[in-house]
Each structure stands twice: as C-alpha cells, then as structure tokens.
C-alpha cells in the first residue's frame, strides 16, 4: 500500500524551462490528491503517468497564478476524458468565483460535478476524511489568504500494532511565524517553501516568503523526520545551494526537483 508524494513543479512565480510552477500529487493507497495546480500541471501528470481521473480531491493554497493557472486546463481535460466521479476542490473563498467563471464559459457538456469547499481555518482544522486519510488545513502568513494542508493516514487498531501512520504537511507560500511548527508537528515528511537563500533574507520578508533557514528551523522545531523544499527563486538555478543551507540547520533536508518521488513510510 502506497503513501507517496510526487513533485510536479518546484518553480516560484516565474516558471523556467526545466521547472513547472507549484503542484504535487499525494498518493494514499491509490487515491490521488492534487495539491496546488500551477501552469503545466496536466502535462506533468501525463509525463509521470498519473491518471487525472483518479484524482479524488484538489487542495489549493491560495489564489496566486503560479498555484492555480493550470486548473482550467485540468478540469477541461477531465471532462474530455468523460470523468463521472465528483471532484472535490478545497481552497479560499476567492476560488469559488474562479470556478464559477470556468463553469459558466467552459462547463457545458461536462459529465462530472465540481464540489467546492471553502477553507477558512484559523488554526489546524480538519476539512476532509475519506476513511483512509484525514486532511486538515491551517493558516499561513502570506500577502493574501493562504493555507497549508496536513495529511494524516488513518489506520485500524490492527494496523497500528504493525506500524505507525504516515503523515505529510504542505507549507506553501509563507513567511516564518511561531505557530507554524505546531501545525505540522511530528509529520514524517514536511514540504516547506524556500524561495530565497540566506543572503536574500530581506526579499523574503518583503514578499512574505521563507528562506532556507526559515524552512529548516520550522522542521527542527516541529520535530519532523524529513524536510523537502521547493518554490525556488528563478534567480538561482543551482538548487544544491538551497539544500546545503537547509542542512546546516536541519541535516535531513532535500531540495526537491520536478518529477521527484518521495515514499513516506
């Protein structure tokens, strides 16, 4: 049974030739959950042999283009594939009008229902439970309303005798703030944006983003097992620089690249 993360895009606001904008797929025992949907997401899904029709729910962190510009194309392609299953989409209230716009202009002939769920979390709050995984949302500190998501595997009492549940947390665009470590405490795998290196700390503060040190410090304070980073500034093409800086504070850090796959035990 799988619990694994597949990285579709690691760029920040400016996509570059070798990197797509933010998007990830979490596979929980064959059920797929899409986290953010930047430009190029549906093409990357095809490249990584991930079925669009198996996506059970979509979780959007916030309404900046590099996190949502791929959504219209994905929804349209699902309709052309004759999707029948309801698609659950979670995100800030502003996403509702975007989806209504899509449906009013491009929704004709679609055979599946899109069910929008507004996220309005003031702390760590459960928003979804399908019997295999519980999903919770938590607020992030960005220029606009923005949320992170935590995925906790649900195991039976018999399964708990054999192993501990897997867990994953996604911290999209955010600046550092004290409560964040509590929201992601103890997860086995943490994704934390790391747009800037240490020498660009002032820009991180200016644009409500994080540095390598911010991401690594959060991982350390939260007691997570492993940290992966992404959402890199286009000014720096060598992502090993980000990884090295993170490892100075939290040794089990990895700079994620497009198409990487992480098994979560």
Spell out the domain ranges in the chain.
Answer: 3-263
109, 76 contact by CB (below 8 A): no
Task: Give the global pTM.
Answer: 0.97
pLDDT 10s per residue in the chain (265 long)? Answer: 689 999 999 999 987 888 999 999 999 999 999 999 999 999 999 999 999 999 999 999 999 999 999 999 999 999 999 999 999 999 999 999 999 999 999 999 899 999 999 999 999 999 999 999 999 999 999 999 999 999 999 999 999 999 999 999 999 999 999 999 999 999 999 999 999 999 999 999 999 999 999 999 999 999 999 999 999 999 999 999 999 999 999 999 999 999 999 999 8
Question: Which residues are designated catalytic?
Answer: 66
Q: What DSSP line would sit under 224-265, residue for residue?
A: -SEEEEE-B-TT---THHHHHHHHTT-SSEEE--TT-EEE--
Q: Which parts of the chain fold into alpha helices (H)?
A: 41-47, 65-68, 71-80, 94-106, 157-162, 180-183, 201-206, 212-222, 240-247
Query: 3-263: what CATH class?
Result: alpha beta
pLDDT in tens, 98-138: 999 999 999 998 999 999 999 999 999 999 999 999 999 99
* Residues 168, 224, 228, 183, CA torsion sign: positive
N-terminal to C-terminal alpha carbon distance within the chain? 10
């Amino acid at each position: 049974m799988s619990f694994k993360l597949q990285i579709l895009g690691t760029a920040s606001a400016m996509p570059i030739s070798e990197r797509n904008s933010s998007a990830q797929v979490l596979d929980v025992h064959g059920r797929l959950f899409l986290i953010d949907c930047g430009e190029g997401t549906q093409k990357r899904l095809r490249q990584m042999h991930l079925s669009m029709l198996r996506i059970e729910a979509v979780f959007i962190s916030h309404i900046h283009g590099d996190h949502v510009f791929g959504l219209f194309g994905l929804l349209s392609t699902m309709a052309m594939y004759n999707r029948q299953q309801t698609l659950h989409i979670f995100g800030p209230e502003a996403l509702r009008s975007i989806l209504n716009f899509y449906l009013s202009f491009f929704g004709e002939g679609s055979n599946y229902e899109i069910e929008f769920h507004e996220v309005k979390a003031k702390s760590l709050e459960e928003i979804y439970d399908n019997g295999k995984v519980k999903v919770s949302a938590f607020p992030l500190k960005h220029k606009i309303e923005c949320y992170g998501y935590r995925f906790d595997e649900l195991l039976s009492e018999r399964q708990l005798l054999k192993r501990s549940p897997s867990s994953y947390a996604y911290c999209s665009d955010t600046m550092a703030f004290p409560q964040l470590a509590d929201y992601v405490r103890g997860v086995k795998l943490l994704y934390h944006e790391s747009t800037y290196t240490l020498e660009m700390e002032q820009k991180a503060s200016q644009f409500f983003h994080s540095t390598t040190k911010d991401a690594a410090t959060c991982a350390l304070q939260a007691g997570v097992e492993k940290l992966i980073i992404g959402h890199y500034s286009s000014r720096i093409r060598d992502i090993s620089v980000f990884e090295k800086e993170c490892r100075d504070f939290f040794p089990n850090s990895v700079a994620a690249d497009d198409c990487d796959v992480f098994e979560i035990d």
